[in-house]
A and B are shown apart, each in its own frame.
Chain A
Amino acid sequence: MIRLENVSKTFTDSNKEVHAVNNVSLTINDGDIFGIIGFSGAGKSTLVRCINLLEKPTDGKVFVDDAEITALSGKELRKARKKIGMIFQHFNLMPSRTIFGNVAYPLRGSGLSKEEIKEKVHHLLELVGISEKENAFPSQLSGGQKQRVAIARALANDPNILLCDEATSALDPQTTKSILKLLQQLNQTLGITVVVITHEMAVVKEICNRVAVMDHGDVVEEGEVFHVFASPKEPLTRSFIKTTSNLQKIEELIAADSPVVATKKGELIVRLSYVEKNTSEPLISTVTQKFGIILNIVFADVEIVQNAPIGGTVAIVSGESSRIDEALQYLRDKNVGVEVIKDDRVLQ
């Protein structure tokens, strides 16, 4: 478990104070894949560096597995760091060492014999799926391969925690997916807690179970990924979600007077969104039959987050005005988010 208590980090740069992290308190549970998202400069990289004290917090306490990291002496801190793996945006592999040498680097002084180190490195390289590159140098590898090696290196001392600082930001979408899959797989098979720093909501959606949104050094929103996606509270969170969902496009279409959203008198446009993990019921079918109204789906965007569908549909509803109201009420009762975006019934 990682616990941050009122952590602040202030940089003083030629008489100017920059509050990179502002009084942040967070708890990351064992086995979590915890996302920290924010625009660049939001302080997320500084925050994650406060966990292994690559940045020493100006204020506050950091606990890892009940040990107060911020209170450790140099030697104890180095010992603690061995149990906190970290990977970076630019991989940070040592160019003068082979892949084997890079992964073996943290094993020196671990008490393992030469043979045991060899075996361990082989095992780690196998785990990340890159055993054939053992004798290559980092410069001969692609970005995705380098990150795999970096992950193997970070896992060398069997850490309980893996910190990922923009680990996929320098990779193409395909490779990003495969690295995220690997992280998820490591989380499931080794039970390792993963902290993911990113500016891409897609990354959070893909693998995280919990997320914190950062803005100017503050954590503005935090919670289970499904709930944050389903009912974001902060405008910033909404704008992040917008980058991965099409459901918000409807406003743009209406503003642009698109023929797709042209309504006749008596019709209305609604956005139905899944805010709870309950979408197994055939809701649309049910309301059309039960209330005798017509739902014309303009578009839909449903994805699976944490094994539950999330997203929703935008539809033009037509039918008897009172029946429509009853139908919308029925949906609300079923915990579906209902937003009326345009209502042409008022003109009647």
Chain B
Amino acid sequence: MTGFFNRIIPNVMDKLPDFFEAIRDTLIMVGWSGIIAFVLGLFLGIVITVTKPGGILENKVLYQILDKLINFFRSIPFIILLTWVIPISRAIMGTAINVEGAIVPLIMGTVPFFSRQVESALAETDHGLIEAALSMGSGPLEIIFRVYLRESVSAIARGTTITAISLVGLTAMAGAVGSGGLGDFAIRYGHDRNMTDVTWVTVITVFILVSIIQLLGNLVVKKSRH
């Protein structure tokens, strides 16, 4: 078995510890920045939904600021963002390289995108439900948790899946500035040293990761539908 792998993917077998570390790094980056971006994005998505004109906590100023801010951050190419946030990364994480250094730019690159995903998921909630909840004396927090979020589980799950997968893509790009992970692994060996087998194995590994995320997402969507 090992002989077979040594023959077809010699370079990968040669750097097996590096490869496994790259997988671990990618999972750590996706996991941590994913969880934090999920919380922040969900929060922002909710705030922008309820402060919108006609929303349950309408607030024109706050809405306009958030709306423009999200658009602004979405306009920054990720590779530029990576270098721009280096000082912030240093301040928060104590370093701007390695996995730790990648978390901050990954979060900042993901949150604006995810908050728009949440916004569009919540926008699918029938306004009649909000009206009914108001007529029953529900307060804003109750409406957010018991109506908006509860009724949007499957739509939010869809948005989360899309975001998580695009986050996997971003971690690969973060590899370019020395964050480690699969992207870094593929660039360093597969691309720079022309080890094609490394590139292919990396792509297949990411493919498996993407497939698992999509599968989990679909499962949640299916479970939450009636």
Contacts and interface: CB of A to CB of B under 8 A. Distances in A.
A148 interface: no
A220 to B, nearest CB: 27
Interface string B58-81: 000000000000000000000000
A90 B128 contact: yes
A93 B131 CA distance: 11
Contacts of B135: 52, 54, 81, 84-86, 154, 163
Interface in B95-151: 126, 128-129, 131-139, 142, 146-147, 150-151
Contact of B137 (A78, A88, A153, A163): A78
Contacts of A82: 136-137
A96 B137 contact: no
A62 to B, nearest CB: 14
A178 interface: no
B128 A95 contact: no
A78 B147 CA distance: 16
B193 interface: no
B226 A137 contact: yes
Interface in B15-64: none
B205 interface: no
Interface residues of B, number: 20
A94 B224 CA distance: 13
Contact of B129 (A78, A81, A84, A94): A94
Interface in A12-63: 52, 54
Contact of A92 (B132, B137, B146, B150): B132
Nearest to A156: B136
B153 interface: yes
B128 A96 contact: no
A139 interface: yes
A81 B136 contact: yes
Interface string A258-293: 000000000000000000000000000000000000
Contacts of A233: none
A97 B135 CA distance: 18
Given A81-B134, A88-B131, A95 B139 contact: no
Interface in B129-180: 129, 131-139, 142, 146-147, 150-151, 153
B126 to A, nearest CB: 7
15 contacts: A80-B137, A84-B135, A86-B132, A88-B128, A88-B132, A92-B128, A92-B129, A92-B131, A94-B129, A94-B147, A96-B224, A105-B146, A139-B226, A150-B132, A157-B137
Interface of B: 126, 128-129, 131-139, 142, 146-147, 150-151, 153, 224, 226
Interface of A: 52, 54, 74-75, 78-82, 84-86, 88, 90, 92-97, 105-106, 108, 137, 139, 150, 153-154, 156-157, 163
